[in-house]
Structure formats: C-alpha cells, structure tokens
Amino acid sequence: MGRLRTIARRTFLIGSVAVVGGVAFGTYLVRRDIPNPLEDDLASGEATFNPWVKIDQDKITLITPHADKGQGVASTQAALIAEEMDLEFGQFEISFGTPSPAYWNTAMGAETAPFMATDESFTAETTRAMMGNLMKVIGLQGTGGSSSMPDSFDKLRMAGAVARETLKHAASQETGVAIAELNTEGGAVILPDGTRIPYTALAATAAGIEPVQDVTLRDPSTWRLLGKPMQRLDIIAKSTGTLNYGIDLSVDGMVHAAVRLDPCRNGQIVNYDATAAKAMRGVTDVVEITGGLAVLADNTWRAMQAANAIDVTWGAPPYPAEMDGHWQALEASFSPELLDSTWRDEGDVESAIAAEDVIEAEYRSPYVAHAPLEPLNAIVRVTDDGVEVWSGHQMPRQLQTVVAGITGHAEGQVTFHNQFMGGSFGHRLELDYIKQATEIANQMRGTPIKLTYSREEDFAQDFPRHIAMGRARGTVADGQVNTLDLSLAAPSVIASQMGRLGFPVAGPDSQLAAGAWNNPYGIPNYRMTAYRAPELAPTSSWRAVGAPAAGFFFDSFLDELIHQAGADPMEERIRLMDHDVSRKVLEAVADMSSWGGELGPNQGRGVAFVESFGVPVAEVVEVTATDAGIRLDKVWVACDVGRVLDPVNFENLVQGGVIFGLGHAINSEITYAGGMAEQSNYHAHEAMRMYQAPEIFVKGLENGAHIRGIGEPPVPAAAPALANAIFAATGERLREMPFHKFMDFV
Amino acid sequence: MTRFLKVLAVGMMASLATLAIADEEAAVIDPPAAGSVSITEGLAAFDRVYEVTSHPRCANCHVGASDRPMWSGPSYDRTRPHGMNVQAGESRIGAETMLCSTCHAYREGLNDVPHAAPQVAMNWQLAPIEADWFGRTSDEICTQLRDPQRNGGRTMVELAEHLNHDLILHWAWNPGGGREPAPYSLQQHVDDLLIWGVAGFPCASD
C-alpha cells in the first residue's frame, strides 16, 4: 500500500520530456509500424526483412545500432541476429546503421520508472511497459544505462529469426521444396538432399517476399554462439591498431580545427586577441563559435597550439568559482524545501533513533571527469544539400536534431556515420563537440571540418560526475543493524544533462540516490531521503550515474553499523537481504572469496553490495597495509544479469568496471578554482596503474528474471568494498573519495 | 636504420649535448680565497644549497634503495612514486630491460609539453643510492654531502665540477613544460657550494 501511495505523488522525468515534445501518446502511436530505414536506399536485388538485416548477392550486413564505446556491444548485437539466422562469425559485415526511430530503445525507459528493480508487482511492470512504449513513441535511439542487451535480446533474435524464415520461404519458392523440409546452417538454406543455397543467392527472390513474421525463437539449449566465448568482431583490428576510430578518419579536402572554449562554461568572452595565433604556421583562420573560439589549420597539432596561443579573458562562471562554495551549497541543501523525494521510509526511524544510541557519519563524493582515452572529435561537412557527420555518439537522433537546428536543414538531410569510440563513460551522450564542429563547418560550407579536442580541452570542458554529500544516522540492537537513515544532497545530473538537450525535467530524480534507495535490504527501520541541491558545475551521466556516489555512502555506512553491532560484514548483509536473487549474489561472493578464511598479517577484507541498473553486484576486496601504503591484492565479484551472453566479454567488462571504480575511488577528483577545472590531464586525475591492479575473479549468476546489461553495474560497489577492506586492515574509516588524500596506495 | 647509423646518430646527439653545456651553460668555478669565509657565512650558503638539493627538481631522483624515482612538487597534486612503476635497477639507469632513457630520451631543445617525459640528457638516471636525499633534513643532507664515503670521494671543487658536467643537473634550472625550476641558478649554486666548502663544510649539528 505504501508503495502505491508513494507512486501516486510522483511524476516521471521522462514523462515530462514527452509532454514538452508535444507527443500525443496514444494507442495508434504505440502500435504503428515504424518504417524500415534500410528500405530507403535499397538497390534492386537487395533484400531487407527488418531494420537489422540486409542481404545482397555479395554480402550479408547486420545493423548493430547500439554505440560501441569499447564494451563490445557491436559483436554481441550481431551474435543475437546471427544465432537465429544460422550465420557464423565471418559470414557477415556489421554497420552501425543510420539514425532512425526504428531503433528505439525499448529498455532505456524502464530505469526511469520509480520502482526498485526487484519490484515485479503489476503496477511496476505495467509502468515499465508504458515507459518502453513511450520510448517507441518518441523514437528514442540511444546507448546508455546499460540498456543495450535488455533492449536487444528479444528484438534482435526476432530480427534474425524473421530473416531466416523469410529466406527459407524464398528457397522454397525457388526450388519447390516445402518449407518444413528446409533447414538453415552456416549462412545457407539446406535442401533435404544436402544442397546448400547461400543466403546471398536468395537475396533477389527474398526481396520480393513479405517478411515472415510468425517465427519461433531458438531454445537456448540449442544456441551455437550465445552463452559461449566469442571472438569479438573488432578484436583483431583493435589488437593490430588498424581499427579506425572517429579520431583516425579523414575526408578529402578536410581542414583541421581546435577549440578554445570558456573554461567557466558561461560562454562569455570579455575580450580576446588572436593576432599571435593567426600568425602561427599552418593557421588559416580563427572564428568565433558559441562558447569560445575555433582555430582552423592544416593539421591538428598546429590548430591546438594556436588555440592555446589566443589571449582570452573569460567571464565569471555561473557556479561557485571555488570548491568551498560547491560543498557549502550541498551542506545548505539538507532542508525541507529542497527535498527531492523520500525514496524509502520503512519501520519507524524517528522512534528508533530516539530510543537507541545513534551512530552518525558524513560522506563526500567529488566531481570526477569522464576522460575517455579518445578525446572528443567530429568531422562535419555542410553543403546546401545536406550535412554529413562522422563521429562517435550515443544519441544519433538527438545529434541529427541539433545539427539540423544549426544549419537550417531538415533532420532527414543530416547523414550520420557513427564510429567505434575509444571510451565514453557518458561523455559521448553530450552534443557540444558536435555543435561546435557543425558551427565551424556551417561557416565554411563545402569544406569538411575535423574538430579534435586536446586532452586539456577535454578535461576543461567535461561535464563531470556530480558531487554529493551523505549524512547518515543509524542504530544497532542485539548484534544486528536496526536503523539506517541516509540523507543525500546532490545536484541533479539528469536535469543538467536533459537541460542541455532542451528537455526541461520535472519530478524527483531517481538517479540522484540510485545505489542507496534501491538496495533490497530489509533493514527494520530504513529511510533514504534525497535533497536536490541547486545546479552547480554542469554535470553529466558518468558510468553508473548516481550509484557510485550514493552506493558508496550507503554501503560504507551499513558497514559502520555492522561493525558497531559486532556482526560479521558478510553474514549480516546476507541476513538483512530481502531478495533471493541478490542474496545468492552475496552468498556466491562469500563462497568464491572463502570469506572468513585465514588472512595474512596486515591484511583486511571488505565486502560491498550495490544494485545498479537492475543488476545486484557484490564485491569483496582484499588489501594489505604495507609500510609504503595500501596494496590491493584480490577482488572477487558476483553479479546477476539474468543471462550471460558472452562469458569472456562479460568477465572483461566486469573487470574493467571494477578497475574503473577502484581507480577513481583512489585517485580522481575534479576541483574548481577560479571557476575552472584544476585538473588538466591524467597526471592529476589518474587511472589505476597496471601494477596497482588487483587480481579480479568474476562470477555471473543467471537467477534473475530479466536480462540485464553489465557495462555500469560493477563500478559502484568497488569504492565501498575497498574502503571497508581498508577499515578491516587498518581501523581507519574512509568517508570521502578520492582515498589518496588520506593514504598512499602501492 | 642500421645499427651503425643508430650508433652514429646517438653519438652525434651526445656531442651536441656536450657542446651545448660547454658553450652556454657551464658555471664558472671560482672558489673564494681559503680562510675568507666564516662558519656563519658557510652555514648560510648551505641553507641555500639545501633549498636546491631538497627541491623536487633535484630530490625526485635522489632516492635511495627504494629504487623508485618520485613525483613531487607543484607540478603534481601530491607526492607519490613515479607513476609508471619504473625501477632504477642496480645500474640506476632503469631496470635493465627498460631504461629511463626509453622515455627520457634526448631531443634537441626542451620538451616543453607539460607532463610529457622531460627529454634532455642522454643518460637520464637516478642518483647513486648513497645520495639519498628525498625527504631528508638539511642537516642530513649536509653531513651526507661532505662525507667522502657518500659523495664519491669528491673534493669541494670536484663537487662543483660534477654539477657542471651533468646535463640533468643543468636541466633542473631550465626544466620547461611549466615545471618549477630549482631555486637560484646553476652559477649561484656552484658559488654557494664553494663558499660552504671554503668555510670547511660546516653543518648545523656540528
């Protein structure tokens, strides 16, 4: 009952997006078929059965529209189609395809519904379905929120099955053999006598057949590709340095550009002198763009050097110039008028707190940069007839919209060639670099412009992970955790990000406290309150969005309470866990790590559990306190994604997420001085070094009812597990990231 | 490139480097007359010598048996071991499979890119273990520097000449890339060393 009442008070962030967009959200719009974009330029003899499969006489092309930022999703999408089509790797090409509402993300909306992932009630499931429909209505094509596999799993297998059955139909038409007697294998239809007709040979006939929609998906027990280790399609090119990323591309006649943008992000140039820059070798022009200046030159390096040589005086930032002001704003945000939502309120926190000795703690999580290895870049060519864009981006249709808005073309005249990306971590959800490249190219119609950010500009212009502050109170009784009351204050990432896309948002932000409100613990008195601080520095979704900060606060404080109760950190978490799938994750990690076993001198272990994007993740970190600092020895991770589609890629993604979470927890922070980010490059915002990296053991469980993505969920539990391990080894409790401010790591 | 050409090229670059010192950067070694410097003046000179020796430009490579050069000073947000897990090895020129000069290679002119590996000397290396200065007090460095067992058996003049010969040391006053140079100047440092020497190498704890 409590749940229903809570929901009735809430509006949905994404809901207001649709209203602002003027979308009438009716049955017709949900049910209508969206045109297949592959039909637009289909040549004679080419066949397409749906937006994901195209076949001609020479080759089979599978469209893998989710952006690949290194997570390997292009391969897994292709495998989903290939499994049902009976294709082997090597028998097809892949393409990211063209932006289209046909590639709407069915799964991205579910996370915005304000229900715990563990809530499978009718109301919760209905709301999620509604959010999915909304995604279709607005045609939201996007990669993010670890939604690629949830979005693709059924849809792409269905696409492959439709193609397979239609090709069998074509073979039957050509040979006269009944469909029931036909099989498929290795990219061919097999006749009863063993004759193989390659799909490519059937393309012309298939092109004239209405795709067969009544298909059955393969039973997982018969899978040839899925569920087994696959060699990623990009791995040879990546390993040999031959894969072209956006930053590697060139277009004939292209001019190089670099930007010098307002580091205070207010777009205000008080004055500037570009005389020296214009006189530098190779420089052809300096032009004004929104938010700053752009230099055009005959190569990237010269453009960057000249950009640095411009003498600019910038205006004041629209946020506190110094860090103290940011933290003070958070401190002042724990007030009733800034209440965003009380996400959990179970038991009777106030009475419990009044009756028992109260344990209190305050936590902090800093701004951190996305800092992908491949700095932002884009090539744009604007002509009177249309615009072409080459870049890596996670929101292709929003890209089309903003480019068309700048140049005055129709959205359909904007052709986007999406590229493999050298990382993103959320940075390539932003459109600024696309806008800037387009503004420059629009001033030089006919000339392709390649904009490349320097690393320093990438850091200066990043929209980092939000800062957050947590204030926790709790009680223990009879050796057990009794009350956990966590309040969190942070600016809304979603509001900042959606605001730049032109979508005002309303209602509570479920990401604000994700990782703290959605952990399925049955703590007797459990309250989670989120306060929405005013917008400070502009922020953006960073890998796992809200959960790295809120999960650190929540699990660290739970660990403090368990310590106070004198209970075992693992056993007490298992005892409190209210959700079978999640409990099994904790039990698995306890088993893998031989929790409770002997430890060496000065060794300590910490466990943390954080649910993120529907994935329960438990991590155990083992450290040794050495004379030179903390050494990370081993990490064990168990998580549940419902179904592991590629065990090797899965393991790699989890390991990468753990390293990412640990490295940032130890080393990384963006601070502002004079309104500008003080950290300009990796030296001051380090990744984890290879020699510091622990051995990481991974187990993917398959008990969950829904298939989930694993790109982000391994990140949030890493920091609290490490802090808890350090406490176990040293007795020192770390309540603020980055940890290197308090101790050395070796 | 053949091995012969490589050797030739390296040799030529080394000669250029030596020329650069000889022509532009060498300090004049001109010690004050014997007996002309008081102990007080000698101690004051050593205070300045300590400012130089303890400065990150110098101290970062004067590490001991840890074998790990350090990153400290205003170019870094905190003090920590060199990030690439380099080990100086017995030779002190880098673990023998990956020399310091792999990254700190010689190139003509300074590498002015902040945070890129400084590239100025052919033989980028750590100071000997005996010259372990990192994090040490003025008095510790003082007694260390005058101890023949630990200073390579050098006299006052030989200490000064040593400063003149080593390209890395010259780089400390002209590090480029926005790095903070060592205080004073090479000449001033050589002069201070000589003043201190003429005063009889006094240390505060004497």
- Phi, psi (degrees; rounded to nearest 5) at A402: -70, -35
Q: Is residue B11 over pLDDT 70?
A: no
Chain A residues with CB under 8 Å of B66 CB are: 628
Give residue-wise pLDDT tens across range A89-105. Answer: 999 999 999 999 999 99
Q: Scanning every residue of chain B, which has its alpha carbon at the shortest distance from the alpha carbon of A691?
A: B85
Q: How far is CA A78 from CA A155, A156, A240, B61, in A?
A: 12, 8, 22, 52
Q: Would the CB atoms of B85 and A690 count as touching at under 8 Å?
A: yes
Quick one: what percent of chain A has pLDDT higher than 70? 96
pLDDT, position A31: 58
CA torsion, ordered B103, B106, B108, B112, to nearest 10 deg:
30
- What is the predicted pLDDT for the residue at A501? 82
Which pLDDT score is estimated for B25? 64
Distance in Å, alpha carbon of B151 to nearest chain A alpha carbon: 27
Mean pLDDT (whole number) for A657-683: 96
Average predicted confidence (pLDDT) for chain B? 83
pLDDT at B99: 87
Tokens of A556: 């660290």
pLDDT at A14 over 80: no
Name the token pair of A589.
């990690």
Residues of A in contact with B85 (CB under 8 A): 689-691
If you average pLDDT over residues A481-497, what whole number do you get? 96
Confidence tier at A28 by pLDDT (50, 70, 90): low
Q: What is the mean pLDDT of chain A?
A: 93
pLDDT tens, position by position, A593-628: 999 999 999 999 999 999 999 999 999 999 999 988
Highest mean pLDDT out of A160-174, B63-77, B100-114: A160-174
Residues of B in contact with A673 (CB under 8 A): none
Question: For an interface test with A, which of B80, B103, B112 has the most A Cβ atoms less than 10 Å from its Cβ?
Answer: B80
pLDDT exceeds cutoff 50 at B12: no
Q: Which residues of A612-640 are buried (b: 16+ CB within 10 A; e: fewer)?
A: bbbbbbbbbbbbbbeeebbbbbebbbbbb
Return the number of other C-beta atoms located less than 10 Å from residue A396's C-beta: 25
Nearest CB to B76 within list A680, A683, A691: A683
Give the pLDDT confidence score for residue A6 in this predicted structure.
34
3-state secondary structure of A134: helix
Tell me which chain A residues have a C-beta less than 8 angstroms from the C-beta of B115.
681, 683
Which runs of consecutive H residues, i.e. helices, occur in A410-504? 432-443, 455-460, 493-500
Pairs from A331-336 (Cβ < 8 Å, separation ≥ 24): A331/A469, A331/A489, A333/A489, A333/A531, A333/A532, A333/A533, A333/A534, A334/A471, A334/A487, A334/A489, A334/A531, A335/A531
Can you give the pLDDT at residue A29? 52
Average pLDDT for A481-503: 93
Q: Is A28 buried (19+), middle (13-18) or exposed (0-12) by CB count in 10 A?
A: exposed
Q: Residue B38: is its pLDDT beyond 70?
A: yes
pLDDT in tens, A356-410: 899 999 999 999 999 999 999 999 999 999 999 999 999 999 999 999 999 999 9
C-alpha closest to that of A356 among A485, A488, A528: A485
- Neighbouring residues of B157: CB distance < 8 A, sequence distance ≥ 6: B29, B31, B194, B197
Q: Do A686 and B83 touch (CB under 8 A)?
A: yes
CA angle A453, A458, A463 (to 5 degrees): 135
Question: pLDDT band for position B118 (50/70/90)?
Answer: confident
Shortest distance, CA A738 to any CA of chain B (angstroms): 12
Given a cut of 90, is residue A264 above it in pLDDT?
Answer: yes
pLDDT at A124 over 90: no
Flag whether pLDDT at A24 surpasses 60.
Answer: no
User: What's the confidence (pLDDT) of residue B98?
Assistant: 82
**A627 contacts chain B (CB < 8 A):** no
Mean pLDDT confidence for A11-37: 49
Query: Which pLDDT score is estimated for A19?
Result: 33
- For residue A39, count other CB atoms closer than 10 A to its CB: 11
A518-554 per-position pLDDT tens digit: 999 999 999 999 999 999 999 999 999 999 999 999 9
Residues with Cβ < 8 Å from A682, sequence gap 6 or more?
A: A371, A455
Indicate the residue of B76, B78, B85 with minimum beta-carbon distance to A689. Answer: B85
Q: Is the pLDDT of residue B16 over 60?
A: no
Q: What pLDDT shows up at residue A730?
A: 98
Q: How far is A246 from chain B (nearest CA, A)?
A: 24
- Report the pLDDT averaged over residues A3-16: 32
DSSP string, A558-610: HHHHHHHHT--HHHHHHHHB--HHHHHHHHHHHHHTTTTS---TTEEEEEEEE
A742 CA to chain B: closest CA distance, Å? 11
Query: What tens digit of pLDDT does each residue of B41-72 get?
Result: 999 999 999 999 999 999 999 999 888 899 99
Least CB–CB distance from B77: residue in A684, A691, A744: A684
Say if the Cβ atoms of B83 and A689 lie within 8 Å. Answer: yes
Q: How far apart are CA B42 and CA B49, in angstroms?
A: 10
Using one digit for the tens of pLDDT, what is the confidence trace for A45-67?
Answer: 999 999 999 999 999 999 999 99
Mean local confidence (pLDDT), B132-136: 93
Respond yes or no on whether the N-terminal peptide bond of residue B183 is cis (omega within 30° of 0): no
Written as six digits, the tokens of A410 are: 């129709």
How distant is the Cα of A276 from the closest Cα of chain B, in angstroms? 18
User: What does the pLDDT look like over A227-245, one tens digit per residue?
Assistant: 999 999 999 999 999 999 9
